[in-house]
Amino acid sequence: MSAKIIDGKAFAATVREKVAGHVARLKADHGITPGLAVVLVGEDPASQVYVRNKGKQTIEVGMASVEHKLDAGTSEADLLALIAELNADPAIHGILVQLPLPGHLNSDLVINSIDPAKDVDGFHISNVGLLGTGQKSMVPCTPLGCLMMLRDHHGSLSGLNAVVIGRSNIVGKPMAQLLLGESCTVTIAHSRTRDIEAVCRQADILVAAVGRPEMVTADWIKPGATVIDVGINRVPNGEKHKLVGDVDFASAVEVAGAITPVPGGVGPMTIACLLANTVTAACRANGLDEPE
């Protein structure tokens, strides 16, 4: 039997529609236009594509989009000075510094210089701490998008066994925190995990955030499990390239109960959640009720 395909593209469109509604109300009732500033240092091709998409979608939902493209040799002092300016700018409610940064820049220092209230990526140490202690925070966009799809599919996640493959600060760890917050029993697997296939086979919810093309095959998956594939891997396809996830979709779809495709799963939800976080930041900055 074939799994239900969780359509992240369609889900993201409904999230963007809701965001656009909130933006329209903020403008009409309070004269506030939420503003998102994206800072890109250097010319990484994948980052350029992400930044372009973020800017386009920000404008489509009625928000203000500001892009700062700095050359690869930008000094840390200049980057920190720009962030300080954006922190102080009342028209900017969200600040995103596109990662990865060129090697001479200290990413932790840069991210932690963002005003936590404007840290719409949720990577600032304060937001990490707030999430870890179950307090109101900015939640990282990719795990938030995964959680929204899981909640939509399952309703309550309480008591389910969740395995997250990957322990990065931007996906794996916050994903595990969110699932714990939903009362799942959470295991984080990584490159040193022993008998990872057997660990994964225990999962009612399996989230793969690894960066290894099609690593998770059908025999890693408990029949009926929900599989969320975060991976975005470019692999050769004849003369061109194609995108595949960390999950071998063709075999996994025969075993799983539900699965996200790549592309069209987690990716579109990530940007939609970034827009939602920016609206949340704009509401909080103005002492208004935030959207659910």
Regarding 107 and contact with ligand NDP (CB under 6 A), the answer is: no
The answer to the question of whether 265 is labelled as a binding residue is: no
- Closest CA relative to residue 47, chosen from 29, 22, 24, 69: 69
By beta-carbon proximity to ligand NDP, the closer residue of 111 and 283 is 111
By beta-carbon proximity to ligand NDP, the closer residue of 122 and 231 is 231
Residues 117-176 that bind ligand NDP (CB under 6 A): 142, 165-168, 170-172
Regarding 210 and contact with ligand NDP (CB under 6 A), the answer is: yes
The answer to the question of whether 151 is labelled as a binding residue is: no
Asked if 246 is an active-site residue, the reply is: no
Q: Is 281 exposed, middle or buried (0-12, 13-18, 19+ CB in 10 A)?
A: buried
- Which candidate in 57, 118, 121, 248 is catalytic? 121
Q: How far is the CB of 70 from ligand NDP (least distance, A)?
A: 22
- For residues 259, 262, 266, 268, the Cα torsion angle rounded to the nearest 10 degrees is -130
Q: Report the C-alpha gap between 230 and 270 in whole angstroms.
A: 10
Q: Is the separation of the CB atoms in 217 and 248 below 8 Å?
A: yes
Q: How far is the CB of 92 from ligand NDP (least distance, A)?
A: 23
Residues 250-289 that bind ligand NDP (CB under 6 A): 266-267, 270
By beta-carbon proximity to ligand NDP, the closer residue of 32 and 175 is 175
Strand order from edge to edge, sheet including 35-41: 64-70, 35-41, 94-97
In which element (H, E) is residue 48 found?
helix 45-60
Regarding 105 and contact with ligand NDP (CB under 6 A), the answer is: no
By beta-carbon proximity to ligand NDP, the closer residue of 26 and 207 is 207
- Which candidate in 57, 98, 119, 177 is catalytic? 98
Asked if 98 is an active-site residue, the reply is: yes
The answer to the question of whether 122 is labelled as a binding residue is: no
Burial readout 255-270 (b: 16 or more C-beta within 10 A, e: otherwise): bbbbbbbbebbbbbbb
Which positions are annotated as active-site residues? Answer: 54, 98, 121
| Site for ligand NDP, rule CB under 6 A | 142, 165-168, 170-172, 189-192, 196, 209-212, 230-233, 266-267, 270
